[in-house]
Amino acid sequence: MCGILGIVGNVDVAPLIVDALKRLEYRGYDSAGVATLSNGTLDRRRAEGKLVNLQRKLQGAPLGGHIGIGHTRWATHGVPSETNAHPHFSAGVAVVHNGIIENFAELREDLKRDGYGFASQTDTEVVAHLVARELGSGKTALEAVQAALKRLQGAFAFAILFKDDPDLIIAARNGPPLAIGHGKGEMYLGSDAIALAPFTDIITYLEDGDSAAVRRAGMQIYDVDGNPVERRCQRSIGTGYLAEKGNHRHFMEKEIHEQPEVISRTLSHYLDFANDALRPLNLPLDFAGIDRIALSACGTAYLAGLVGKYWFERYARLPVDIDVASEFRYREMPLSRNSMALLISQSGETADTLASLRCCRTQGVPIGAIVNVQESTIARESDVTLPTLAGPEIGVASTKAFTCQLAVLASLVLHAAIQRRTLTPDKARDLIRTLSEVPRYASEVLKLDCKIEKLARTLANYKHVLYLGRDTNFPLAMEGALKLKEISYIHAEGYAAGELKHGPIALIDENMPVIVIAPHDRIFEKTVSNMQEVAARGGKIILITDEKGAARTTIPTLETIMLPDVPEFIAPIVYALPIQMLAYFTAVHTGSDIDQPRNLAKSVTVE
Ligand code: F6R
Task: Point out the ligand 1 atom lying closest to the alpha carbon of residue 405.
Answer: 14
Alpha carbon nearest to ligand 1 atom 11, residue? 299
Is residue 451 a part of any domain in this protein? yes
Whole-structure pTM value:
0.87
Residues in the chain: 607
Is residue 114 a part of any domain in this protein? yes
Distance 506 CA to ligand 1 centre (A): 31
Residue 412 has pLDDT above 60, yes or no: yes
Ligand 1 probe mutation, 295, 375, 604, 606, most atoms within 8 A of CB: 604
Pair 70, 114 in one domain: yes
Task: Point out the ligand 1 atom lying closest to the alpha carbon of residue 373.
Answer: 15
Q: Is 120 helix (H, G, I), strand (E, B) or coil?
A: coil
Q: If you ran DSSP here, which 8-state letter would residue 567 be given?
A: -
Distance CA 525, CA 417 (A): 28
Distance CA 118, CA 444 (A): 58
Distance 604 CA to ligand 1 centre (A): 8
- pLDDT band at residue 310 under the 50/70/90 scheme: very high
Output the CA angle 48-396-343, nearest 5 degrees.
125
Q: Are 153 and 101 in contact (CB under 8 A)?
A: yes
Segment 159-178 mean pLDDT:
96
Pair 351, 227 in one domain: no
Is residue 164 a part of any domain in this protein? yes
Pair 386, 464 in one domain: no
Distance 491 CA to ligand 1 centre (A): 18
Distance CA 401, CA 388 (A): 7
CATH number, domain with residue 64: 3.60.20.10
* Domain end position, chosen among 410, 436, 462: 436
Is residue 442 a part of any domain in this protein? no
Is residue 480 a part of any domain in this protein? yes
Q: Using one digit for the tens of pLDDT, what is the confidence trace for 179-204?
A: 999 999 999 999 988 899 999 999 99
Is residue 322 a part of any domain in this protein? yes
* Domain end position, chosen among 240, 258, 290: 240
Q: Mind spelling out the 3-state secondary structure of 230-283?
A: CCCEEECCCCCCCCCCCCCCCHHHHHHHCHHHHHHHHHHHHEEHHHCEECCCCC
Q: What pLDDT shows up at residue 194?
A: 86
Segment 282-302 mean pLDDT:
93
Q: If you ran DSSP here, which 8-state letter would residue 553 be given?
A: -
Task: Point out the ligand 1 atom lying closest to the alpha carbon of residue 353.
Answer: 16
Residue 242 has pLDDT above 80, yes or no: no
Residue 138 has pLDDT above 70, yes or no: yes
Pair 111, 177 in one domain: yes
**Structural domain for 521, as ranges:** 447-607
Pair 91, 188 in one domain: yes
Is residue 254 a part of any domain in this protein? yes
Distance 239 CA to ligand 1 centre (A): 21
Q: What pLDDT shows up at residue 147?
A: 96
Pair 259, 184 in one domain: no
Alpha carbon nearest to ligand 1 atom 7, residue? 397
Pair 350, 463 in one domain: no
Sheet containing strand 154-162, strands side by side: 88-90, 93-101, 154-162, 169-174, 211-215, 218-222, 228-229
Segment 111-118 mean pLDDT:
95
Is residue 441 a part of any domain in this protein? no
* Domain end position, chosen among 210, 240, 270: 240
With 0-12 CB in 10 A as exposed, 13-18 as middle and 19+ as buried, what is 549?
Answer: buried
Counting the structural domains of the chain, the total is 3
Residue 535 half-sphere exposure, CB side, CA atoms within 13 Å? 16
- 540 tagged catalytic: no
Peptide bond preceding 260 in cis form (omega within 30 of 0): no
- 602 tagged catalytic: yes
Distance 13 CA to ligand 1 centre (A): 33
Q: What pLDDT shows up at residue 238?
A: 58
Distance CA 480, CA 488 (A): 12
Pair 428, 330 in one domain: yes
Pair 395, 528 in one domain: no
Pair 507, 607 in one domain: yes
What are the pocket residues of ligand 1 if the criterion is a CB atom closer than 6 Å to any ligand atom? 298-301, 345-347, 350, 353, 397-398, 482, 486, 604
- Give the orientation angle of helix 400-419 with respect to helix 299-315, to 10 degrees: 20
Sheet containing strand 292-297, strands side by side: 320-324, 292-297, 339-345, 367-371, 384-387
Task: Point out the ligand 1 atom lying closest to the alpha carbon of residue 402.
Answer: 10
Pair 527, 405 in one domain: no
Residue 241 has pLDDT above 70, yes or no: no
Distance CA 253, CA 456 (A): 14
Q: Using one digit for the tens of pLDDT, what is the confidence trace for 415-447?
A: 999 999 999 999 999 999 999 999 999 999 999
Q: Which CA distances in Å does 235 have to 137, 183, 199, 238, 266?
A: 40, 12, 13, 10, 22
Give the chain's end-to-end CA distance (angstroms, integer). 10
Q: Using one digit for the tens of pLDDT, what is the confidence trace for 571-605?
A: 999 999 999 999 999 999 999 999 988 888 887 87
Which has the closest alpha carbon to 438: 407, 415, 405, 472?
407
Pair 54, 119 in one domain: yes
- Alpha helices, DSSP H, located in 22-170: 51-60, 104-113, 124-136, 141-151
CATH number, domain with residue 537: 3.40.50.10490
Q: What pLDDT shows up at residue 408?
A: 98
Dihedrals φ, ψ of 479, to 5°?
A: -65, -40
Segment 245-274 mean pLDDT:
94
